[in-house]
Structure 1
């Protein structure tokens, strides 16, 4: 295929994956990320999967897969904090921050534009164009929406506003420096830990430090507590300490202090002591609502969707990053194999739409106990 002007909306790892692959093929690629400060420091650990490893090999970054923390077993706690079951299933959690930083290094600064908000995408038979919040426009041969569950590009594919479906529960999260974890939580270290109760699920594991540190004492403990929240109560939950409403999540520091205190008290009342101690050690818990969405088609004309812009899958799958990697590799492969953009995108949709639908269905099955 001839050299294309490719414009990508969304600068997280999914957008960086496809940008790196297409730049290797000589295409003119530029990413637009609405965040003014970039996305470094926003991730914790992720489970490596086959598609992610394949992508890292394709861009010459296999070393990223070797930077992480190994959980040597899985343990399941009872209400008192005793281990009621264990499984010898070693697993490494790769550093999201290290992955992001490495992939970010694959795209030069002048091709990674921060603080530019795309309001819409339009297209005709010959090109597609981005419309920015400052009134400007930019034409491209291909627009890729890698802008997550709040995707703006999605509308250009489905032809209407496409809202995500709330799953009925949220994930409370914390990321505690290992040195700040109290002695009561020591049993949680070096392993995946789980606790189940009706309509609630808690888990936790060690991840690297913010600069990919793996030494004991320099790591962080990542905990997640899934809890039911009625749809009518969600707007109040997602209102930050300054009274501003957020559609999907509250970041560290945005949760009102009274709500954070209530979370810690609930943990003390309901969870095993090790998990309650880990939650109490997090001064700035954050929360994300869990949503579902499946796009009817991943492409239209000269516009393609990738990652959560197409399929919002529940975090229980641990496959979000791998799904984005699979999308990126398939899109790059079909653009290489076909002369026409539209033909390449049709082939991409035929390959990846069933894969995304299967992962989304798997996530719903895993989350059924919380519903």
Structure 2
């Protein structure tokens, strides 16, 4: 088939690689004039890594991933360790390590694996026409493209989603803002081979190791939506939000680079079950935009990509049948992940003070 993918993010690129391996002609259309990483890093948990292993990228992902051997929660105010345990039993149970990776490194790997010549930049899709034998994409520059199938991997603000559902889904503010970036590993802040999370007051400060001796860090603060985003004030804002916190948190704030730090208001969308219409199908955030609270946004997009490619390859009752099988395989699982992340978000960010404080206390007896 001649397949068009809209969106050159993790899900779109993974789908493109998988579909090419099955012999399809695939072109990715990306609205950005140049590829810029959104967010500093991504949590590739074991299920996401397995998707990339399936594509033959095992060695490359190991080279990009951080050596994350243990997990710890620390009281952000008094620096007492609440729990600390090895991740090895989890890895052995599921058969694969997790690899936090710098987003730019992963995206570059996937683009090279897919083929830069088949990624068309500066192509903003404006409209979709679905016909009996093809789908037609209309772009901002006036050009049109026909394909046998359109895969909408165009993210949380998806145009493709509106076409499939017939209405625009409103994003829901999750109640907190996230600052994130990369710094050189510093064991005065956190152990080099550990995922360390400082918690307190409904806030969170987390560090995960990635390749090249770097930590991926993020700060979560429950504040109202729509406040000014002033990059040169990031350190001042964070010092204010974490003024009574322990020394390692302040050391992290002192050493971050404001110009390379991202600030994101966190949203999700209400789950829905229809992932396709005609010759148009959704994948990743376009289908199930979630908060990052359980680290499954990118991983679920990769699962989508593999299941979609396999559904198209192994089912022979036509395109509609294959898309329906993909939809029915994925919608319950992704709905569960969106709602699980939302529940974790509410506990972590103190939507109910009693519930969050009970969770803090439970961490002292948590054995992983």
Q: What is the number of equivalent residue pairs in this alignment?
A: 334
Which residue of structure 2 aligns with residue 63 of structure 1?
Answer: 59
Deviation for aligned residue 1:311 = 0.4
- Tell me the SS of whatever aligns to 1:69: coil
Which residue of structure 1 aligns with residue 118 of structure 2?
Answer: 111
Judge conservation of contact 2:42–2:100 (CA < 8 Å) in 1: yes
Relative to structure 1, is the Cα distance of residues 256 and 42 closer, same or farther in structure 2, using a 3 angstrom cutoff? closer
Which residue of structure 2 aligns with residue 85 of structure 1?
Answer: 83
Judge conservation of contact 1:147–1:153 (CA < 8 Å) in 2: yes
Deviation for aligned residue 1:276 = 1.8
Any idea what the Cα deviations from partners look like across 1:239-298, whole Å, max 9, x if unmatched?
A: 4xxxxxxxxxxxxxxx4313442223433x132211221122112232111112123411
Residue 196 of structure 2 is aligned to residue 193 of structure 1? yes
The whole-number CA distance in structure 2 between the counterparts of 1:56 and 1:74 is: 24
2:241 to 257, 266, 280: 266
1:283 to 257, 260, 267: 257
Which residue of structure 2 aligns with residue 35 of structure 1?
Answer: 32
Deviation for aligned residue 1:124 = 2.4
1:20 to 14, 17, 21: 17
TM alignment of 1:283-362, pairs within 5 A? 283-284=257-258, 285-293=261-269, 294-336=271-313, 337-362=315-340
- Tell me the SS of whatever aligns to 1:149: coil
CA-atom RMSD in angstroms: 2.1
- Tell me the SS of whatever aligns to 1:106: helix
Relative to structure 1, is the Cα distance of residues 355 and 109 closer, same or farther in structure 2, using a 3 angstrom cutoff? same
Deviation for aligned residue 1:41 = 8.4
The whole-number CA distance in structure 1 between the counterparts of 2:257 and 2:104 is: 21
Any idea what the Cα deviations from partners look like across 1:115-167, whole Å, max 9, x if unmatched?
A: 21112322122221111111221111110011111111111111122221111
Relative to structure 1, is the Cα distance of residues 55 and 73 closer, same or farther in structure 2, using a 3 angstrom cutoff? closer
Judge conservation of contact 2:4–2:149 (CA < 8 Å) in 1: yes
Which residue of structure 1 aligns with residue 165 of structure 2?
Answer: 158
Which residue of structure 2 aligns with residue 202 of structure 1?
Answer: 205
- Tell me the SS of whatever aligns to 2:163: helix
The whole-number CA distance in structure 1 between the counterparts of 2:240 and 2:227 is: 19
2:221 to 223, 227, 234: 227
Deviation for aligned residue 1:221 = 1.7
Which residue of structure 1 aligns with residue 6 of structure 2?
Answer: 9
Relative to structure 1, is the Cα distance of residues 84 and 116 closer, same or farther in structure 2, using a 3 angstrom cutoff? same
Which residue of structure 1 aligns with residue 358 of structure 2?
Answer: none
Deviation for aligned residue 1:190 = 2.5
The whole-number CA distance in structure 1 between the counterparts of 2:311 and 2:248 is: 49
- Tell me the SS of whatever aligns to 1:316: coil
The whole-number CA distance in structure 2 between the counterparts of 1:125 and 1:147 is: 23
- Tell me the SS of whatever aligns to 2:79: coil
Question: Could you tell me the TM-score, scaled by structure 2's length?
Answer: 0.84
Judge conservation of contact 1:12–1:39 (CA < 8 Å) in 2: no
Relative to structure 1, is the Cα distance of residues 191 and 41 closer, same or farther in structure 2, using a 3 angstrom cutoff? same
The whole-number CA distance in structure 2 between the counterparts of 1:367 and 1:304 is: 29
Relative to structure 1, is the Cα distance of residues 304 and 99 closer, same or farther in structure 2, using a 3 angstrom cutoff? same
- Tell me the SS of whatever aligns to 1:330: helix
Deviation for aligned residue 1:80 = 2.6
The whole-number CA distance in structure 1 between the counterparts of 2:27 and 2:139 is: 14
Q: Which runs of 5+ in 2 are unaligned?
A: 89-96, 352-368
